[in-house]
Amino acid sequence: MSSMSDKPEKLITDDGLRLDGRRADEIRPMKIEIGVLSRADGSCYLEWGKNKVLVGVFGPREVHPRRTQRADTAVIRYKYNMASFSVEDRARPGPSRRSIEISKVSREAFEPVIMSELFPKTAIDIFVEVLQADAGTRTAAINASSVALADAGIPMKGLITSCAFGKVDGQIVLDLNKEEDNYGEADFPVAMTQDGEITLLQMDGHLTPEEINKGLELVRKGCKEILEIQQAVLRKKFETPVEETAEEASETEDIENKVVETEASFEYSPEAAAIEDSLEGAEELEGAEELEEELTEESSETSAVTEETPEYEELEEIIKEAEAVVEEDSLEEAIEQEIEEEEGEEALEEEAEFEASFEAAPEPEEFEKLEPGKEESVSGEEEEEKEEEEVMSESQDSAGEEIQLEEETGIEEVASEETIEPEQEIESKAITGKEVPAEEIVKTEEKPEEERCEGPWKVVKDPSESGSRGENE
Ligand code: UDP
């Protein structure tokens, strides 16, 4: 983190604009890509301002180690990780107090909407990699995770959307950037369901109840905009109509249909286009008329131009070529199948790896070692000044170490979270360990009863009630 002397004189200029040109109620531009990882069940790459995060979702899948599974429900595991190159002063690899905290509150932000009870004895794993950080990475990661979970087909009562507000130069503003986060007076990340039920709420800094109310209003506006982006990207992927031709091709072994299946290549392959034209022209060929119907407008136009009917031998030649094209299809199928098989094997290996990475996650003892209440310093500490090489191999080492530690002590991990008291301590710190008393924050909420004593989230109502906002649009 930069020193205070770098603080700009003003974070909000006289015309009311912020240093990046936004107004107080504007979020940074967001871009979402879905399904970017072929080995994950669901994935998402998200850019939000200068933040870049990648999320992979795996599961529901077998739980390792077995004793962490739950008979009645799936366990959700969320792992937030910052690439060492994602920040200005190089982040120390491996879990930190901060990443453990973010992982925990983010998992809890999703627990109310993921229908875990449908998948007992399984795990749903969410892996977040922050590639570039510019404040608001936890909110960015939650937005991306929501899309990745949907991409993985995990049943949810609705999407989760997340955005922070803060106080900068005495003003309440939406979605802080790095400078505003560094030099502002407060940062208040929130996550919510589609119905606006809050599932994550943290606060860092000084705010009055009035300011919190105002900020929450901004956050709701921001979350609505983000939800629209999330929904748009999901619609784009899942609402694309299945092409009729592909469906019919699978029903019949007709060569004509198979040729149609390769239709996409017509645009690029002149040979294929010639085949198409020829088949078009040859009335005597079985199924030629059906084929005509199948052709896209574009290719029909092309064939209309070619009036000439080729000689019969030529046609035979062309059909042979067409068969060769068709054979490529079955080849493709074979390759696909092979890939699937491979993926099965890889999944096993992967599982072992991920398992190890989860075991590297905090043990209760680890937490005790950490000093709760003391904010993790992001500037280079002495102990962080290790040799580059040493640090690079560190995450692996520590994974091994902790597996051992765990075996020795036989401590049950994450599954029985009630027993992990230090974690709860951190959580309450996040909410109550600040200037404004917890009751005051709660009072400002719209539905105080439900939120009190519930931790940073509350349970969504009837599943049938959720999702209304998205569906209405
Ligand atoms: N940051 C950093 N080094 C760290 C942790 C954070 O430079 O080790 C920066 C990073 O840009 C991050 C910002 O500080 O986005 C704010 O961090 P915070 O803990 O508030 O979480 P975030 O806002 O990213 O959810």
pLDDT, mean over the chain? 70
- 217-226 burial, b at 16+ Cβ within 10 Å, e below that, comes to ebbbbbbbbb
- Amino acid identity, position 444: T
**Greatest CA separation for the chain:** 89
- pLDDT-based confidence at 121, cuts 50/70/90? very high
List, for residues 382-423, the tens digit of each pLDDT value. Answer: 444 444 444 434 444 444 444 343 333 333 333 333 333 343
Nearest CA among 188, 195, 189 for reference residue 211: 188
- Residue of 131, 181, 426 to test ligand 1 pocket, by largest number of atoms within 8 Å of CB: 181
Mind giving me the DSSP string for 304-346? HH--PPPPHHHHHHHHHHHHHHHHHHHHHHHHHHHHHHHHHHH
Contact 204, 166 (CB under 8 A): no
Q: What is the pLDDT of residue 342?
A: 52
Residue nearest to atom 14 of ligand 1 (CA): 135
Ligand 1 centre from 178 Cα, in Å?
8
- pLDDT-based confidence at 239, cuts 50/70/90? confident
Ligand 1 centre from 136 Cα, in Å?
7
Atom of ligand 1 nearest to the CA of 133: 11
Q: What is the pLDDT of residue 367?
A: 40
Angle between the 270-281 and 297-305 helix axes, to the nearest 10 degrees?
70
List, for residues 8-53, the tens digit of each pLDDT value. Answer: 889 999 999 999 999 999 999 999 999 999 999 999 999 999 999 9
* 468 has pLDDT over 50: no
List, for residues 61-86, the tens digit of each pLDDT value. Answer: 999 999 999 999 999 999 999 999 99
List, for residues 296-329, the tens digit of each pLDDT value. Answer: 333 333 333 333 444 455 555 655 665 554 444 4
Contact 359, 351 (CB under 8 A): no
- Amino acid identity, position 443: K
- Residue of 87, 162, 187, 203 to test ligand 1 pocket, by largest number of atoms within 8 Å of CB: 87
Q: What is the pLDDT of residue 43?
A: 98
- pLDDT-based confidence at 144, cuts 50/70/90? very high
- pLDDT-based confidence at 6, cuts 50/70/90? confident
Within 6 A (CB) of ligand 1 lie 1, 87-88, 91, 98, 133-138, 178, 181, 187, 378
Ligand 1 centre from 460 Cα, in Å?
29
- Better-scored residue on pLDDT, 146 or 351: 146
Ligand 1 centre from 139 Cα, in Å?
11
**DSSP summary character for residue 159:** -
Residue nearest to atom 24 of ligand 1 (CA): 137
- pLDDT-based confidence at 5, cuts 50/70/90? low
Q: Alpha-carbon distance 189 to 165, whole Å?
A: 6
* 459 has pLDDT over 70: no
Q: Which value, in Å, is the radius of gyration of the alpha carbons in the chain?
A: 28
**Mean pLDDT on 272-278:** 42
- Residue of 132, 167, 178, 378 to test ligand 1 pocket, by largest number of atoms within 8 Å of CB: 378
* 127 has pLDDT over 90: yes
* 56 has pLDDT over 90: yes
Q: What is the pLDDT of residue 241?
A: 72
* 446 has pLDDT over 90: no
Q: What is the pLDDT of residue 7?
A: 83
